[in-house]
Every structure is written in structure tokens, then in C-alpha cells.
Chains A and B, each alone.
Chain A
């Protein structure tokens, strides 16, 4: 858990509405699709449920939250480790899920990247992978936590105490839920406390080169800077 310097004891600014910290637990469902080469992966990505696209891009970031480099999504990792298709792996890894507000758009982009690679490298399509790729999906269940914030002090307190799954839920999963290039924390800061600049700084924290613990610390830094400024 991150620690922070002691905060100045000034009169807190009260939010118009409180922030309720939630967390999310997920249960993996095994899908029907399986790929043993890139052509099969392409077909599986075209036909699988949205939940599987979500699982292997958004959700996997939570499952591998402790890795700070070299991991972006399951498709990229499989293209690299099981298919030895480094170029495709790089392109898939460069997908930034923060840019997508619908799974349909994300699926379309994945299909486009794989199709383009197979057009350029037709032999890669049916080359047997070292291990199959099993498409899965997650059932997410939202779990309320006891933490509620009505001002920045309470917000930092909650942020320090919630599990890493709560950080994921509000900071990453929220983008798809909100259908915006944004996260729950930034939305609250901007809408309930009129802290647009801090909200923007928070939204620009890089989730791909940080662990979720580092993301937590970066969020706290943004808030502490705002509190010190006030």
C-alpha cells in the first residue's frame, strides 16, 4: 500500500456528491472458441462474444496488473510467445484500450491488424502455434466497499485502503462503462469538485508502463499536489 506525506489540515472542499468506492470480482467462463493458428484466431475474434474481447484486452490488464512492461493484452502475448510472430505481436501490443469506448470498435481494430499481417505473411496464417489460445470471458460482479469520499482527504484515504481491483474497476473498466475516454475518478473530480486540470492529469497516467500499484501512487500524487496547491 502506498504511503504519502502528511496532508495540510485546511478546510476541505466538499464535493457536490460523494464518491462511492466499489470493487469488482470476476469469474472466468470458458468460451467455445479455440485457436491453434492465427487464421483460427482471426475467425474466433470475428465470432466470439463481446465478453471475450473484453476479457483478453481490458480484463487481462487487471489479471496481470503486476507486470509493468512487456504485457499489453493476451492476443499480443500469444502472437509473440506461441506463434513467434513478433511484428504482429508488436502491433497488437500497441493497441491502447483507452482509445476505445466500444468493444465493437476494439474488435474491428484487432481483426484489421491480424488481417493485414496475414495478407503480408500468408504462411503465418496456418502455422501451428506452440500452445492453443482458448477464448474466455469474465462475469464481473461489482462489490461495494465501505469507503466513501466527500472531499479530497477522504478520497486519498479511500484510495489507499481499497484493493487493487477497485483501482482497476474505477480507472480502467470505467472507460467502457462510461463510453468515454475517461475514468470514474477524473469524472468525479471534474463534475463534483470542479477540478478539471487534476482530472485531466489523472486521466493521462499511463496504465501500460505501470503496475496498478504504481497507478494508485500516481493518482495519489495528483490529488496531493491539488491539496497542496489549495
Chain B
């Protein structure tokens, strides 16, 4: 949500309403009116206490980003992953001490890659593997081209002209001339700086291309343009097997990861979770089904409401749809309105359009949930699923993108393919809590084993050792 809109929506709080939980940043303010162009919801008569109704109409949403938290140190993860696992990470790193790494991407702030590097690089440096992060620069014409490439690599239409190819290559060349390549390992993230590999022949280091995007259905022309560059690398890394292309170089699988110590995932005091529920009018005495996602049709929020309505015939419950993107993105606003229309006058459908600094609130919402849903129709890896698994919640999710990697059907969650299937699985989990608990436990272990930043760090260390010929894969196979 834009600050201006938020400011317009602020209302002076009543005395006694402003009890902030200790150590939790950001004041919460009730908004007096929905965002411009959005109608206030009218609820049908219900025996729900008035304060729930009031908060559902006027949720108290943080107006300011919290101050940034200090990045964790490796030792902070010991209580989460265990001492032996931490020792193994340190052991793997010991052999790489003094080996130098350069990571290059296209943006220092915003976006998933920058978020990952902000967390990963301090840990590598703490392990005494000097790791530099450099960002390529370019003019608006370059970023227009790379944005076009991004959409085209996701399958969009694109007219790849000679001029476009020249713009891409000339900015890559400028950056290549500007940068020094003296390290032992070079990790180039995503297509934007892929052309830096032309420096490979001048260096003694090994070159790795880390592709964070789904290449399963790329625009053929754009991929044909990039592929010869990619194949000059020594290895490529993808986030899911489904996202790869046939390449002549080894391809490794690095799942995206979450940081269990980040605001989004760290343990929270029960009092803070209660406060957030109170701010949003969530009744913790009844089951809460939650989907966290942008207001985007591909996340199928209306399908989630339809599934909830089928469940509600049998089990009393509440649905929380929380996400962002409905204020800055015109299509998001349209989808939000569709969601409001689908929810109608049902007061137990709680719709929250949250600002981007709501990590703590989202964490609390996930922890307060009985079931986490991610009924996407198309998905990247689906880190909201990972977050749900990590919080030991039973997850009901669409079998798309990277979700089946995370949700092993009936073992770490349940996969669904339709509204009806989604409704049935939610109903089943609500009426078989012991099964739901087992799924949650398995899901947390699955996340711990595969999708935490510490596992990702270990993967990097292993790959670096293999790339530098310091470790030979076991002779077992």
C-alpha cells in the first residue's frame, strides 16, 4: 500500500486500543475506510462479537516499516539445525578458507535474489570464505530489455530484434570491462549479467550460473540467444527440476530457501500472535484457514473462497486471505475487488491487503492458522508453502510449479487439483486433527532438511568444493 493511501486511511485510535506488544515494531492503526475505489464490506447479521466485526471492517495495519533486524550469525542457527549439522557446515567451509567468491546480480535491493544474497553472503564471510557481491549497472534501455527477457523466458510473446541483442550485449560488455575477475569462483545470478562469462577465458576461476527463474517454457528466440552464453559456464543451478532446459553443462538443484531467523519465520511470542489476531479480528477459538499471497488470479483466491464455502457447510471456520499488491498494481486492485465480491457478506472471510513491511504480521497469521492453503494455478517455487511447512502447519496446495517438491502428497501436506478437492482436503484435516498434526510435523522436518538457508549454504560449500576439485563425489555410485 502506498504511504499516501495509508495516511488517508488512518484514524485516531481510541484510548486503550494502542497497546503495543513489547519489542514488536510498527504502530498499528485502524483504517477508517477502505482504499480508494474499494467498497467497504457489508456483513450479514451474525452472532460474532462486535469487536471482531469492527476489526474485520477496519483492521489495524502497521503504517511504518519496522527497523531492520541485525543479520543472524551462524551460531544463532545451532538451536534450530543442531550442533552436528553446524559442525558439518564449518568442516566443509574449512577447506574453502581463503578461496574467494564473487557473486553478481542485477539489483542490490528488492527482489528475491537480493534478499537471498543479503543473508547468504554474511554467512559465507563469517566462514572465512571472502565473498564479494557486485551489481551490474545499466541504463533504462538495458532494464527494459531484461524485463522483456524475463517475461519472455516465462513464456510471454517477444520480438527479439538485433538492436535488443546489441543493447543486452553492450551493457554486459561495459560491466565486464568495469569489473575485475580475480576470484576463484564466480556466481552469476539470472540472465541479466549472463554475458559476463566472456571473461571466463581470462580467469583461473570456475563459473557458475544460478538461474532463479522458471525456464520450462521460454520464448524460443530469447532462449536460443542466451543458451550459448549459459553453456560457457562450468555448471548451472536451478530451483526445481521442472524449471530446467537441456544443457551441455552439469545442472544442480538448489531449492530456494527461507531463513528461520527472519521476521517472516522466527518464533513469535503467543502474546504477539494474539495481538495480531486481535488487530485483524480473527477469532482464535475457531479454525482458521489461511492463504497468504498477492491478489493475483494465478493464486486463485476466488477458488479458495469457493472451497471455504463448501467446507463451511460442514465445519465452522474462518478464512483469511492476506497479501499485498492490490494498491500499486492495477490488476491487483481488480482481483481484490473480485475477491471481495466472492466473499460477499460473509463476515468469516477476512481479507487483508497488507503493506510490504508486514513480515511479522504474516508470520503471526501463519502461526495462528489451523491450515495453510496455497491453491495456486501456476507457481514458481512457492515459498509461502515452505513458510507454512516450517511453522508445522498442515498445508493444502495446488500441484503446480515447485509445490509438489515441497508437498509430498499425504506425507508432508496434501496436493489438490480442484476447488472440490481443496474443500474435501480442508474438511478432512479439520475433522482429523491427528492426521493434520502428523502432516505438520513431517512438513517441518521436510523444510528443515531441504529448504532452510543453512541447507542452501551447505549446498554452496559442496558445489564450490566439487567445482574446485577439492572434493570428489563418493565412489559408492
Contact = CB atoms under 8 A, between A and B. Distances in A.
Contacts, number: 111
A140 B473 contact: yes
B84 A145 contact: yes
Contacts of A134: 241-242
Given A29-B251, A139-B473, A165 B411 contact: no
The 4 lowest CB-CB distance pairs between A and B, nearest first, are A134-B241, A66-B445, A163-B84, A140-B474
Given A139-B462, A163-B85, A28 B252 contact: yes
Given A63-B449, A66-B442, A130-B399, A29 B477 contact: no
Contacts of B475: 177
Contacts of A67: 411, 442
Given A143-B88, A143-B91, A30 B238 contact: yes
Interface string A86-105: 00000000000000000100
B79 to A, nearest CB: 13
Contacts of A127: none
B253 A136 contact: yes
Contact of A141 (B408, B409, B474): B474
Interface in A98-132: 103, 130-132
B477 A141 contact: no
A23 interface: yes
A70 B410 contact: yes
A132 B240 CA distance: 12
Given A28-B252, A63-B450, A176 B476 contact: yes
Interface string A44-86: 0000001100100000000111110011000001000100000
A63 B253 CA distance: 14
Nearest to B85: A163
A51 B449 CA distance: 21
B254 to A, nearest CB: 8
Contacts of B450: 63
Given A143-B92, A173-B474, 8 more contacts: A24-B474, A25-B458, A29-B252, A66-B441, A81-B408, A103-B477, A139-B462, A173-B476
A25 B88 contact: yes
Interface string B416-455: 0100000000000000000000000110011001100000
Contacts of A141: 92, 462, 465-466, 471-474
Interface string A12-37: 00000000000111111110101000
Contact of B411 (A70, A139, A143): A70
B466 A27 contact: yes
Nearest to B445: A66
B251 A30 contact: yes
Given A30-B252, A54-B476, A161-B84, A139 B442 contact: no
Given A64-B408, A134-B242, A27 B459 contact: yes
14 contacts: A23-B84, A26-B462, A27-B252, A32-B246, A70-B410, A70-B411, A77-B408, A81-B410, A131-B399, A139-B462, A140-B477, A141-B465, A141-B474, A163-B87
Interface string A168-180: 0000010011000
Contacts of B465: 141
Contacts of A27: 252, 459, 462-463, 466
B410 to A, nearest CB: 7
B84 A71 contact: no
B139 interface: no
Nearest to A30: B251
B415 interface: yes
Contacts of A205: none
Contacts of A138: 477
Contacts of A132: 242
A144 B462 contact: no
A26 B471 CA distance: 11
Contact of A163 (B88, B399, B415): B88
Contact of A177 (B449, B471, B476): B476
Contacts of A70: 410-411
B37 interface: no
Given A30-B238, A30-B241, A54 B252 contact: no
A5 interface: no
Contact of B462 (A25, A54, A103, A137): A25
Contact of A29 (B253, B411, B415): B253
B82 interface: yes
Contacts of A130: 399, 417
B244 interface: yes
A183 to B, nearest CB: 13
Contacts of B462: 25-27, 139, 141
Among B82, B441, B445, B473, which residue has the most Cβ atoms of chain A within 10 A? B473
Nearest to B243: A30
Contact of B474 (A30, A65, A142): A142
B461 to A, nearest CB: 8
Contacts of B409: 81
B446 A28 contact: no
A161 B246 CA distance: 42
A1 to B, nearest CB: 8
B18 to A, nearest CB: 44
A222 interface: no
Contacts of A34: 241
A163 B472 CA distance: 21
Among A30, A134, A136, which residue has the most Cβ atoms of chain B within 10 A? A30
Contacts of B88: 23, 25, 143, 145, 163, 165
Given A25-B92, A27-B252, A130-B417, A139 B242 contact: no
Contacts of B410: 70, 81
B250 interface: yes
A132 B463 CA distance: 26
A172 B449 CA distance: 18
A130 B246 CA distance: 22
